[in-house]
Structure 1
Amino acid sequence: MFKSIQYVIKENFSNLYRIFSISKYELLADMRDTKLGLFWNFASPAINLLTYWFVFGFVMERNSVDGIPFFNWMLAGMVVWFFVRPCIVDGCNAIFAHSKMISKMKFPVSILPATVVLKELFNHFCLMIVLILIFIVQGYRPDIHWLGLIYYCFCAIAFNISITMVLSVLNMIARDTRKFVSSIMRLLLYLTPILWPLSRFEHYPKIAFIMKSNPIYYIVCGYRDCFFYHEGFWPYRYRAICFWIITLFLFAFGSVLMHKFKAKFADLI
């Protein structure tokens, strides 16, 4: 296992420029196919946010959560979801999408999950700029707690790369993986939870504990804490332990898969 982890880490760090170049090319390729280009990086998530706000904030009349306007509370969680979801769904296809290149030349396959995450990280930064501007206009002034976003963004990157490594290899073994993951992600949005507070399960501690163990929920809570609650890292220490255990396990498992199948990817295509 340690040999596999060392192999993946070494291959990624020795190909940082290649990771950046592939991510940049794929990002520009997506923009090149449309006339409005970068506009859709903001428009698509904005339309989804307005849809969720209309259903949960207007129709279902959820006015506030812990004294925070529902739209702001939801927005702080959805910005994480708009980063994690495409990384996982598109990450399933990270290796298969480059099958022609892999079959024709010797290529460091383990870097491909990182290229997907780096590409989506740019979109995440674009949405974060809009989010911060919205909060500033509404009276939320930047303070020292906002620096915690750097840590939680790193957590999101580490989790996305780890789970993408696993899913991209599994998708090469069984093509149904991507469709299965796409279906599960729709359910996971409501189970995280992002669109409703976990306090609704205060009478069901076992269910609440399982949901709190969700790595994505830890990141969501972190973003919300930086913007609104300002409680710091300590109240989330148990969730942090669960998060890093799960993330490191996924990274180790993904590294083993990458190392085991590194010479077989061309045959799996």
Structure 2
Amino acid sequence: MFTSVRYVIRENTQNMYRIFSIAKYELLADMRDSKLGWFWNFANPAIQVMTYWFVFGYVFNRKSVGHIPYLLWMLGGMVVWFFISPCITDGCNAVFKKIDVITKMKFPVSVLPMTVVLQKLFDHFCLMIILIVVFALYGYYPTWHWIGLIYYLLCAIIFAVSLSLTTSVLNMLARDTRKLILACMRLLLYLTPILWDIDKLGHGRLMKLMTCNPIYYVVQGFRDCFFYHKGIMAYSWSMGWFWGITLVLFFFGSYMMYKFKTRFIDLI
């Protein structure tokens, strides 16, 4: 098990330039297919945010969550979802998408999930620009508490890579894996307290169970940096579950990647 972890970490650290190059190529390739290029990196998340705000904010008449305007509160969570969700869905297909490269040359397969996450990181920064502008219009300006976003973004990256290590291999073993992931992500959007306030559940067992969700930990962390300023240790329960689940996924994903590193061609 530890051999596989060392293998994955070493392969990723030794191929950092290759990871950046692949991510940059994929990003530019997506823009090359569109005449408007970078415009869609801003337009797509903006359109989705306004759609969710119209449905959950305007139609259901949700003006605020506590003292925070609902649009800002929702955007504080959606900025996380728009990063993690495509990282997970595209990360699941990371190895299969590059099968033509793997079959023609010796390639460090374990770096592929990281290339996907790095590519989606650019889209995340685009949405963060939109978020800062909207927050400023409502009178919410960056403070030193926003420094905590670095930690929570790192959490999101590690979680997405850890999960993708496993699902990208499983997707090679069974193509239904990606379809299952896509279905689960649609469900998870509504089960994760992104569009609704978790305090509505009270403080019973159901709420405890919901806070075990690793994505919830990152979402709540972002909102804490934006609005609540409680600090990292205020969410120790969710933190414990997050790092426990993430480490299990990373160890298992590394084991799967190491075990099948020479067999991907046979799985085509």
Name the residue aligned to 2:44: 44
Amino acid at match of 2:245: I
How many Å apart are 1:155 and its aligned residue? Answer: 0.4
Name the residue aligned to 2:108: 108
- The CA deviation string for residues 22-70 of structure 1, in whole angstroms up to 9 with x for no partner, is 0000000000000001110111111111110010000000111011100
1:218 partner SS? helix
1:193 partner SS? coil
1:95 partner SS? helix
Q: What is the CA–CA distance in structure 2 between the aligned matches of 1:239 and 1:103, rounded to whole Å?
A: 41
Q: Which moved more, 1:235-244 or 1:9-18?
A: 235-244
Name the residue aligned to 2:90: 90
- The CA deviation string for residues 148-172 of structure 1, in whole angstroms up to 9 with x for no partner, is 0000000000001000111100000
Amino acid at match of 2:223: R
Name the residue aligned to 2:239: 240
Root mean square deviation of aligned Cα: 0.8
Amino acid at match of 1:127: L
TM-score (norm 2): 0.99
Name the residue aligned to 2:140: 140
Ranges of 4+ aligned residues in structure 1 off by more than 3 Å = none
Name the residue aligned to 2:252: 253
Q: What is the CA–CA distance in structure 1 between the aligned matches of 2:226 and 2:23, rounded to whole Å?
A: 29
Name the residue aligned to 1:216: 215
Residues 1-269 of structure 1 aligned to structure 2 (within 5 Å): 1-202=1-202, 205-269=204-268
How many Å apart are 1:103 and its aligned residue? Answer: 0.8
Equivalent pairs counted in the alignment come to: 268
How many Å apart are 1:141 and its aligned residue? Answer: 2.1
Q: What is the CA–CA distance in structure 2 between the aligned matches of 1:240 and 1:170, rounded to whole Å?
A: 27
How many Å apart are 1:133 and its aligned residue? Answer: 2.0
Q: Judge conservation of contact 2:46–2:130 (CA < 8 Å) in 1.
A: no
Q: Which moved more, 1:189-198 or 1:132-141?
A: 132-141
2:103 partner SS? helix
Which consecutive unaligned segments of at least 5 residues does structure 1 have?
none
How many Å apart are 1:83 and its aligned residue? Answer: 0.1
How many Å apart are 1:233 and its aligned residue? Answer: 1.1
Q: What is the CA–CA distance in structure 1 between the aligned matches of 2:108 and 2:171, rounded to whole Å?
A: 18
TM-score (norm 1): 0.98
Amino acid at match of 2:227: F
Amino acid at match of 1:252: F
Q: What is the CA–CA distance in structure 1 between the aligned matches of 2:169 and 2:205, rounded to whole Å?
A: 33
Q: Judge conservation of contact 2:173–2:267 (CA < 8 Å) in 1.
A: yes
Q: What is the CA–CA distance in structure 2 between the aligned matches of 1:207 and 1:167, rounded to whole Å?
A: 28
Q: What is the CA–CA distance in structure 2 between the aligned matches of 1:131 and 1:52, rounded to whole Å?
A: 15
How many Å apart are 1:4 and its aligned residue? Answer: 0.3
Q: What is the CA–CA distance in structure 1 between the aligned matches of 2:143 and 2:175, rounded to whole Å?
A: 46
Q: What is the CA–CA distance in structure 2 between the aligned matches of 1:82 and 1:112, rounded to whole Å?
A: 20
Which consecutive unaligned segments of at least 5 residues does structure 2 have?
none
Q: What is the CA–CA distance in structure 2 between the aligned matches of 1:189 and 1:112, rounded to whole Å?
A: 25
1:104 partner SS? coil
